[in-house]
Amino acid sequence: MNGDTHDYSRIYVAGAAGMLGEAVLAACSQHYEVEASDIAPRTDAMSFLDVADAELFAKAVDAFEPDLIVNLAAETDLELCEHDPERAWASNAVGAENGARIAERLGVPYVYISTAGIFGGDQEWYSDDDVPDPLTVYARSKLHGERFVQQHVRRHFVLRPGWMMGGGPDLDKKFVNKVYRQIRDGATTVRAVTDLLGSPTYTHDFARGLLLVARSGHYGTYNQVGGGTASRYDVALALVDDLGLSDQVEVVPVTSEYFAEAYFAPRPASEQLVNARLRERGLDVMRDWRVALEEYSEVFRRDLERHRRPR
């Protein structure tokens, strides 16, 4: 079956209320019947599900009878994971296992989202088969999930995004929105680190790629990140430029030492990935992060206009 094209009709999406969930639901709802759930449902159309609850997870999936299961559920706050490793393990590792067992029992493909953060950071770039060396509770819990899925689900797709960006002012929990909020609140100086490198990954590009890979029937593990090289400083500078504020907001380069107290979980010096396997198989739809951010910035430009309009 590996390599056959495969299409679906009913997709179960867990962890659908998050920043990636927004893009995945948008992509899936165009073509498929979708059941979406989350531990904190955002709309009435979403049901409640804690993926760590094996029985509830199985009941919900069985009732929907999907032909594809996509598990996006995770505790993604690195500091919270360090503070509460049990919660991190339940959502990220046990949740991954529960979904894997259900998929294997039903004989349907399973998509699990891992992370570029499983790598240790001593290489500048990481390819699909490089050896992981997780530095944090979050990364260890995600690596456990990825390995369990690889070992127990024959028809698995493990996809690794980099620094996620997407969801706009309301849903984006990560760096781009953290910078944006400072600007919206009137900051004229924003500090961003130069000594951490990563691969910014736009949720809408990632969701498009997810569906393409899942339809390809090429089961396996894939790096799937935006193209190009970036430090946090590069991303902040690009956002300020896209917002047309380069003459009003100064981006000041700092080292990660500056944020050591607030962001105490260790970050790899580099979590830049290469989508080598996707490219080999002709499945790489990821755009350069700079192009994707320019498109994504539009939602922040509109939001900023609304906030700055005199009332």
Structure tokens at 269: 């010096």
- Give the span between the Cα atoms of 300 and 239, in whole angstroms: 9
> What CA dihedral angle connects 43, 66, 142 and 122, to 10 degrees?
-110
39 binding ligand NAP? (CB under 6 A): yes
Q: Which range of residues in 34-42, 124-132, 251-259, 261-269 is near ligand NAP by CB under 6 A?
A: 34-42
Q: Which of residues 102-141 bind ligand NAP (CB under 6 A)?
A: 113, 115
Q: Which range of residues in 48-56, 257-265, 272-280, 293-301 is near ligand NAP by CB under 6 A?
A: 48-56
Q: What are the residue ranges of helices labelled H in the chain?
A: 19-29, 54-64, 78-83, 85-88, 95-106, 137-152, 168-171, 175-184, 203-216, 232-242, 276-280, 289-308
To the nearest whole angstrom, how small is the minimum distance from the Cβ of residue 138 to ligand NAP? 8
Considering only 11, 12, 13, 21, the residue that binds ligand NAP (CB under 6 A) is 21
- Give the span between the Cα atoms of 206 and 283, in whole angstroms: 12
- Give the span between the Cα atoms of 119 and 263, in whole angstroms: 18
What is the sign of the dihedral through the CA atoms of 175, 40, 17 and 266? positive
202 binding ligand NAP? (CB under 6 A): no
To the nearest whole angstrom, how small is the minimum distance from the Cβ of residue 185 to ligand NAP? 22
* Nearest CA-CA partner of 273 in 234, 231, 225: 225
Q: Which is closer to ligand NAP, CB of 221 or CB of 249?
A: 221
To the nearest whole angstrom, how small is the minimum distance from the Cβ of residue 31 to ligand NAP? 21
Q: Which is closer to ligand NAP, CB of 72 or CB of 183?
A: 72
40 binding ligand NAP? (CB under 6 A): yes
Q: Which of residues 141-160 bind ligand NAP (CB under 6 A)?
A: 142
- Binding letters toward ligand NAP, positions 62-101, x by CB under 6 A: ----------xxxxx--------------x---x------
Tell me the DSSP string of 20-80: HHHHHHHHHHTTSEEEEEESS--STTSEE--TT-HHHHHHHHHHH--SEEEE------HHH
242 binding ligand NAP? (CB under 6 A): no
Please name the residues in contact with 52: beta carbons below 8 A apart, sequence gap of 6 or more: 90, 91, 94, 95, 98
**Which residue's C-beta sits nearest to ligand NAP?**
18
To the nearest whole angstrom, how small is the minimum distance from the Cβ of residue 270 to ligand NAP? 15
38 binding ligand NAP? (CB under 6 A): yes
Considering only 11, 17, 190, 236, the residue that binds ligand NAP (CB under 6 A) is 17
Residues that bind ligand NAP (CB under 6 A): 14-15, 17-21, 38-40, 49-52, 72-76, 91, 95, 113, 115, 142, 161, 163-164, 173-174
